[in-house]
Structure 1
Amino acid sequence: MTLYYGKVDQSACIACGRCQLLAPRLFSYDAEGIASLIPDHNAGTHELTASEQIAFKLAYRGCPTGAIKRANTPWPHD
């Protein structure tokens, strides 16, 4: 099984709401409507489960700006 880690490039997010419509258990918004990944507070360190991967892929493919990012390894801490 392929490992998936996700996060939102918040500088590219246009607050359209599509990711939460497609994967409501994975995405939330701040006061300005900018998305983040719920499981790890957008750190990119949570390995998505098989069921999370299905929902994540829908949101990833549906993001109009490509702000949702995925990787096969965790993102390094800034």
Structure 2
Amino acid sequence: MSLFTIVDKETCIACGVCGVTCPQIFDYDINGLSEVIIDDNHGSKQIPELFYEDVIDAYESCPSESIKISEKPFHGNPKKYERL
């Protein structure tokens, strides 16, 4: 299985849950919004398998449902796929 993730910055409320849950993948931009740091929030680079569980935990914990995950790349479009 491949796993890709992206943050929809239009709906992110900067709560900080994802950064605490998986700091190796999520960090904050200059505006305090979450972003995926391994590919500048494009959702094009596969998540290392070591972090799958943490990324899924962040996805399930996001109160604004801004974290998206998919088995296919997002190519910069967080609205490209439905929730798994």
TM-score by length of 2: 0.84
Alignment root-mean-square deviation, CA: 1.3
Alpha-carbon distance between aligned partners in 2 of 1:15 and 1:68, rounded to the nearest angstrom: 11
State the AA in 2 paired with 1:25.
Q
Would you say the 8 A contact 2:39–2:45 is kept in 1? Answer: yes
The equivalent of 1:25 in structure 2 is 24
The equivalent of 1:57 in structure 2 is 56
Structure 2: 5+ residue stretches without partners: 78-84
List aligned pairs for 1:61-76, cutoff 5 A: 61-76=60-75
Would you say the 8 A contact 1:27–1:37 is kept in 2? Answer: yes
Inter-CA distance 48–58: structure 2 relative to 1 (3 Å threshold) = same
Give deviations 1:43-69, integer Å, cap 9, x for gaps. Answer: 101111211211101111110010000
State the AA in 2 paired with 1:26.
I
TM-score by length of 1: 0.90
Matched length: 77
Structure 1: 5+ residue stretches without partners: none
Which of structure 1's runs of 4+ aligned residues deviate more than 3 A? none
